[in-house]
Structure 1
Amino acid sequence: MLKTFVNLIVLCSLFLAAVVSSKHHGNPADDLVELINMNRTAHKLPELSNSPGLGCVALQCAEECQANCTSDNAINCHPSADDFTEIFAPNCGVELPTFGTISGHVVGCHHKDLTPSEAFSNVLFRDKKSFSLLGNRSHNEVGIGIFRAHKHKGPYLWCVLFSSSQTNTTFVLDDLGRGIKQIKGCYSGLSDACSRQNRNTDQASYVNICVMLFIIFFLSTSLR
């Protein structure tokens, strides 16, 4: 019985370690950046720099557009230039003198939580117009924000911002690159920029599985 108990602990530990050490720590925004760069390199275009400042601005844009998502997963949202410089950037802690040129943006929404590859193909880059924007040679940087409108349900919103400005000198976050802590949503460019409501739920699922296994183990031993 002791050996079975020890094996159960080891198994659960391995499960949790695998989840915690996942590539982007549960940040689907970074996964989307990777998909964008894979697509660009496949078409012999240079990869884009993953800018956390631009990503945070994209998150603000996604949150701003949450009321525009229709029941059939369509969205029409075009924040003004003033919104970007006067609201989104300060909300992130982007140093205003470093606010660069946004060379393109894509906003999409869906009422179901989609994987990064599903969001890429079915929401963000599903037509010729958005796909041509993806392959624009003037882009140097990219930032992605993901926002869930309600705590326990969608719609989910994705915003991709491209910039043609010089890499590493624009969209600089203050406080030594940390900017202002975001309470909701995810944005690309930081190792762990997801809030609790947008994190991948695999870790919680594995914890629940382990708890259930322990309960079953103790119930089975107590009935012997």
Structure 2
Amino acid sequence: MANKLQRLLLCLAVICIHLLAASAVNAPSKVTDNPADQLVAALNNNRSAHHLPALYDNPGLACIALQYIKAYQGNCDAVGGPHAKKPEDSAFAETFAPNCGVQPSSLTQITGRFLGCQSKYVAPDIAFSQLLMKNSKSLDILYSKNHTEVGAAVSGSDGGAPYFWCVLFSNGKSNSSFTLEGGVAKVSKPGCFSGAGDVCNSAKGRFQSDHFWSWLIGILAVFGFAFGL
């Protein structure tokens, strides 16, 4: 009887530890858990370090950046290199804007873009510094004074490799460009876009899912030990 009581107490203690760990992993996340938001933060921090103004994170432009990624249909080979392609300019008004709920009449000039793709997911700051900042031309785009707003998107984060990273720049006005119908961008999965106040699990989502199953298996194992199952 004493042994069973000790096992039960041990079981309860382990369960408490697992619950605390799970709550730490699954605690309500801030917007910074969105890798697209983190990408914009890295970009603006870099601009600020060079005494340039931070760019307005426009959710309408960011949603269009995600549509821009989707136009590649997962073809990583079409990003850079001899087989590089890019969507037609007409796609912005005809496809990207309607898919995001952006009023086509509010589209403004795209003054620059970054696009990268690879098979391995990396942290947003690493993607910014190593994947998107490729050469002096990339720095010219980053430090251009023509930009007033930015939108970033990350795709593949919920659906697996390849992982696309896209940043679009514009010279529009924050209160009148890339205007969203109803004030909210349409959510389009898989993928994340910045500026919408939305938490996006990214690669971490799969880690949390794996953590949950290991947590559950651990709990069942503890019960089995406690009650001799």
Same fold by TM-score greater than 0.5: yes
Between the aligned partners of 1:27 and 1:101, the Cα distance in structure 2 is 26
What are the superposed Cα offsets for residues 131-190 of structure 1, whole Å, 9 maximum, x if unpaired?
221111221111111222994x42111111011111232111112x22323132111112
Q: Is the contact made by 1:184 and 1:197 (CA closer than 8 Å) also made in structure 2?
A: no
Which residue identity is paired with 2:162? P
Residue of structure 2 in register with 1:119 after alignment: 127
Residue aligning to 1:100 = 108
Q: 1:207 aligns with which of 206, 212, 215?
A: 212
Supply the distance in 1 between the matched residues of 2:156 and 2:56 (Cα, whole angstroms).
25
| Aligned residues of 1:140 and 1:162 also touching (Cα < 8 A) | yes
Deviation at 1:99, TM superposition (A): 1.2
Identity %: 35
Q: Is the 8 A contact 2:148 2:170 kept in 1?
A: yes
Q: Is the contact made by 2:79 and 2:85 (CA closer than 8 Å) also made in structure 1?
A: no
Q: Is there any run of 5+ residues in structure 2 with no aligned partner, and where?
A: 1-6
- Change in CA separation of 1:193 and 1:171 when aligned onto 2, cut-off 3 Å: farther
- 2:57 pairs with 50, 63, 71, which one? 50
Alignment of 1:182-201 (within 5 A): 182-192=188-198, 194=200, 200-201=205-206
Quick check: 2:74–2:162 contact (8 Å CA) kept in 1?
A: no
Is residue 144–residue 187 contact of structure 1 (8 Å, CA) maintained in 2? yes
Residue of 62, 71, 75 corresponding to 1:64: 71
Show the counterpart of 1:219.
224
Q: Is the 8 A contact 1:29 1:144 kept in 2?
A: yes
TM-score, normalised relative to structure 1: 0.86
Alignment RMSD, CA only?
2.7
- Note if 1:156 corresponds to 2:163: yes
Instruction: Say if 1:55 and 1:188, in contact at 8 Å, map to a contact too.
Output: yes
Measure, in 1, the Cα distance between the counterparts of 2:142 and 2:79.
24
8 Å Cα contact 2:151/2:193 also seen in 1: yes
Alignment of 1:13-92 (within 5 A): 13-19=19-25, 20-24=27-31, 26-70=33-77, 76-92=84-100
166-175 or 20-29, larger mean C-alpha shift: 20-29
SS state of the match for residue 70, structure 1?
helix
Contact 2:148 2:173 (8 Å CA) reproduced: yes
Task: Describe the shift of the 1:150–1:39 C-alpha distance in structure 2 as closer, same or farther (beyond 3 A).
Answer: closer
User: In structure 2, what is the Cα distance between the partners aligned to 1:71 and 1:104?
Assistant: 18
**Equivalent position of 2:145 in the other structure:** 137
Q: Is the 8 A contact 1:107 1:157 kept in 2?
A: yes
CA distance in 1, matches of 2:146, 2:80: 30
Task: Indicate whether 1:180 and 2:180 are aligned.
Answer: no
Partners of 1:202 and 1:149 lie apart in 2 by: 11
Report the count of equivalent residues: 221
Contact 1:187–1:193 (8 Å) recurs in 2? no
Deviation at 1:109, TM superposition (A): 0.4
* Greater radius of gyration (CA): 2
Aligned partner letter, 1:30: D
Question: Could you tell me how far 1:6 is from its partner in structure 2?
Answer: 4.1
Amino acid in structure 2 at the alignment position of 1:186: C
1:41-81 Cα distance to aligned partner (Å, 9 max, x none): 11111111111101100000011124542299857232222
Deviates more, 1:50-59 or 1:60-69: 60-69
SS of the residue aligned with 2:31?
Answer: coil
